[in-house]
Structure 1
């Protein structure tokens, strides 16, 4: 692979713009093409970021052999189609979260990646965050003893009108797949896939969840209490309690700038993000991990393993089953 990794961007919405802005700031990344459903949107995006090629359809991007990896930034209801097209065309893929609409679609994508020998990773930037990686290592090293509880929340105040993407069942709307994926992924980063799932929700008239609470449990005796909402802003905090202490992330747990370690009989210790790693909102960490893996010839990342993404999708499926949410695309 050349010194610069050549990226294609599939979709032109807000998250695509944020990621592309971070990419163009990396000296070893080159954004060479962008695709949208319309040529006008693709050209406008290309002009904004100085991208040489703009396509008005996904297939042209997928077939572009001058691309090393495609970043799929469509709404998650389109992830299976967009990422699948790229994998079948021989492209490597970084796919936004939630990974897909359901576990079945996720399994199909993983199967395609392994069949074609292509790299595939869910864009779970939390897992690539240096401070979250440090927290995980401390928990695994026994800093707070055996994990007993995980608490995490993510809520937006809205209000979102009925025609908004977050309220649209056809686009996989609702709090769970957009926001709840973060608390679930955080809990499973530390504890793995739960053995039991209990959930309750308030549904909209369109049939998507406005807010959902989930209680996950593990055979070890650990429990996670998780919440997501699109009708009320929450602190977006997380806490991990163990048999000998606790770690608190006071705000923005999925991209923290600090956390506090409380250990029995000791003064609290604060751990802050290294300023050299950039602002807490940067998506550069996941981009760097993709490029590292590609250069190493890896087809998946050890930081965001495919089996872990599949496990999160199974949990999200289980929560949706408990709360009675099913999307039109699922039949």
Structure 2
């Protein structure tokens, strides 16, 4: 039986998610409803993707008995509110990254999901790509020897307008840094012993650029750099005592380079053009959600609740050190 999806918000990322679902087996996935705060946008979205039901409020989506799981593609500050609404109405939830604005909200949301016995996952789609699964196995099999460093750069000059507003949960830490942080955690799989960060803030008091080091002890370190002012290499390098993996387009990689040799995993073709790079790869996280829910699991082993809490904690610490504070941090 197909997993019945509802989609909260009808923006660019929701478009890409629905488009990616169309590349999966339709006996496994079906979008049955979409909601936006502007009904006309929801109706336009529904028409494009042949969705039966369109709503002009998230409450109506939450109350739809036909919806099993909701994908939340709202702006960052709305993640906690909308996800809470869905969980309170018995829906399983997949929330776009970052899970919430801060660790405090993330803890409340995860607690609610556990108490409600419902599935909840932060949509860190990177980890479900075949490339990430391959990297994990290479590390576990000792191919790289002892991994000593992860270096990640992520920046686009064109992002400045998108993430410069504090009331929209702006800043590179939550928009870009989450990807770099999660990769460091994916590789080292442990709690950092210290974090040091510097940054450049805009007039709104959110970060345009950040440089941070995440120290895991035993000479293991993650170095990340983010920018909304300059386009960076947007590549990750994972180095060990026996070898190195280079990951171009590291947040959604369809290929990696292992000691000079490239390995690729091409994506499927979809009906419509995607808004963002390799967004067809959103299909991987959708399939992970389906498998988990059908197996009766409340979390994914690839993006556990504890991992989301730790990532949120690291985000909070970096923001604290560079002086970025949101109203909901109070």
Establish whether TM, by shorter chain, passes 0.5.
Answer: yes
After superposition, the Cα gap between the structure-2 partners of 1:275 and 1:100, relative to the gap in structure 1 and judged at 3 Å, is closer
Bigger mean CA offset, 271-280 vs 215-224: 271-280
After superposition, the C-alpha distances for 1:79-118 in whole angstroms (9 at most, x for unaligned) are 1000011011100000000111001111111001000000
- Residue number among 5, 10, 31 corresponding to 2:8 in the alignment: 10
Match of 2:261 in 1: 269
Give, in angstroms, the shift of residue 277 of structure 1.
10
Higher relative contact order, chain-length normalized (CA < 8 Å, sep 6+) = 2
CA distance, structure 1, for counterparts of residue 267 and residue 283 of structure 2: 14
Q: Deviations over 1:117-138 (max 9, x none)?
A: 0000111110100111101110
Call closer, same or farther: CA 1:123–1:245 in 2, change over 3 Å.
same
Tell me the CA shift for residue 261 of structure 1: 1.9
Write out per-residue CA displacement over residues 206-265 of structure 1, whole angstroms, 9 at most, x where no aligned residue: 11100101111012320111011111111110001111221112x201111222222xxx
Is the CA contact (8 Å cut-off) linking 1:170 and 1:329 kept in structure 2? no
Q: How big is the shift at 1:38? A: 2.0
Match of 1:109 in 2: 109
Q: 1:171 aligns with which of 158, 168, 171?
A: 168
Match in the other structure for 1:146: 146
Alignment of 1:110-149 (within 5 A): 110-149=110-149
Whole-angstrom CA distance in 1 between matches of 2:179 and 2:269? 21
Contact 2:23 2:268 in 1 (8 A): no
Q: Distance in 2 between matches of 1:117 and 1:172?
A: 29
Unaligned runs of 5+ in 1: 263-267
**1:312 maps to which residue?**
311
CA-based RMSD of the aligned residues comes to 1.6
Structure 2 unaligned residues grouped into runs of 5+: 271-276
Cα distance in 1 between the residues matched to 2:127 and 2:159? 29
Give the aligned partner of residue 183 of structure 1: 180
Aligned to 1:300: 299
Q: Which residue of 1 aligns with 2:52?
A: 52
Contact 1:99 1:106 in 2 (8 A): yes
Matched-pair contact (CA < 8 Å) for 1:94–1:120 = yes
**2:273: which partner in 1?**
none
Query: Contact 2:252/2:278 (CA < 8 Å) preserved in 1?
Result: yes
> Distance in 1 between the 2:82 and 2:217 partners?
37
Matching residue within 217, 237, 240 for 1:242: 240
Give the total of aligned pairs. Answer: 320
Q: Shift in Å at residue 46 of structure 1?
A: 1.2
Q: Deviations over 1:277-303 (max 9, x none)?
A: 999432100001001111111111111
Distance 1:277 1:256 in 2: 16
Question: Do the aligned residues in 1 keep the contact of 2:193 with 2:216 (CA within 8 Å)?
Answer: yes
Provide the rounded CA distance (Å) in 1 between the counterparts of 2:134 and 2:17: 23
- Maintained 8 Å contact 2:83/2:109: yes
Residues 159-238 of structure 1: matches in 2 within 5 Å?
160-161=160-161, 164=162, 166-192=163-189, 193-238=191-236
Partner-residue secondary structure (3-state), 1:167: coil
Distance 2:9 2:23 in 1: 19
